[in-house]
Structure 1
Amino acid sequence: MNAVINLEKNAPFVEVEIGGEVQLGVDARSLHKTLGSKQDFSTWIKRRISQCQFRENFDFISLHQKVERETGATSRVEYIITADMAKHLGLMEKTPQGHQIREYFIQQEKVARNTMYGIQLEINKAMLQLDHVKDVLSNAGRTLCVMGKQVKPQLMQNLDDLIAKAQPQLPFNAGE
């Protein structure tokens, strides 16, 4: 995880247009330094581009710069690489920093998998509860329908019988 934090500090991401799309990019020279590679940068980047078949104007852009030195001006190629290419290079590097980056991504994948698994369990649980509620409501609806047709008339008749039975016993004086 320290390598990931160091990468973010030492090789900050910037917005850059690569392949007609604005995306996050990082200076490959800074990444090379952060990864702790012992190889010369120029050799390292060319070899990685060849090995992984990275494509210019898709995975990276190259910038030719003149560098003034005491011995005279020389030309140097700088590479701005996409965040995806930076991740790929970090995962490939056989240095302690590369190992830390691999561990970080493995850990993040486990977290993502566990989160997805937990969410899937919650979805399944909610679906089962919904099915149960639908069944209960459907059964209740059928019961009410049957009860309404069969029991309601019987209850109404019982009520009418009780009223008829109670009326002769009620003290009712019409003249008073």
Structure 2
Amino acid sequence: MKIENSRLISGAAPHFEHRRSDINANSFAEIVPVIPGQIGGRQTSIVSAKALHAALGVGNDFSTWVKGRIEEYGFSLGADYVVFDPSNFRNQSTDFNHPVTKWTSRRGGDRRSKDYGLCLNMAKELAMVERNEQGRAVRRYFTQCEEALQISAPEIAVQYRRQLKARISAASMFKPMCAALDAARAELGKQTQQRHYTNESNMIARIVLGGLTAKQWAQSSGITTEPRDSMSAGQLEHLTYLESTDITLIDMGMSYDQRKAELVRLSQRWLAKRLEVH
């Protein structure tokens, strides 16, 4: 595989090895890199399969997952992907105005592992077949990144990268919040119904969306798809912060009304700090 000495499409500083826990811990600092290169002598955009595997939150280990998908969907070596040793490839520049001129090992030493450079169409298909929120968000990012390239606007790709990071972070917080609520109610001898999860989610959404639930916000905005897919990066980051905080408040034994009051207070402080930064 030939890696061009050119700028990154994603705007991230990619490590081709990621841990799934990095994403679940809401520290998605390094998103899926999309870099210009060649597969089979054909100029294309290339995605690290290892980075994609981590972003999708796949349950299987990397090797089992990528080999299984290649066999299941009939992808071809030299046409859809190439195999390479990633230990010498880590981008040192996040500046679009400076070319990528050097890649160094993240792990150091002589340890080697195998990665797969995927063409963008293959990466999009792999994201689609995972059928989870992460897969939908990543596939949408690839599509948007492609569109941004067509109009030679890399700054738009940076914006999409931030939105993808926020979208995946928001997806990773909802289930733990529900689990915390379930555990807290179980300790009180109460059974948790679907409406309890919905009430908790709506309470947080109203704080972020000016008094509207996600469904109401989508309807008022003419959005017919999943509401979170159309939220801005700022809204998603706000949502993620409140969901993460709510888990702590639930674990502290606060009632619904106490949590709501505290989340409103903390939300105002969070927004004020954001205004100071910007």
State the TM-score, normalized to the length of structure 2: 0.31
Task: Report which of the two structures shows the higher radius of gyration computed on alpha carbons.
Answer: 1
Of structures 1 and 2, the one scoring higher in RCO (CA 8 A, sep 6+) is: 1
Relative to total residues, which structure has the larger helix share, 1 or 2? 1
State the TM-score, normalized to the length of structure 1: 0.47
Relative to total residues, which structure has the larger strand share, 1 or 2? 1
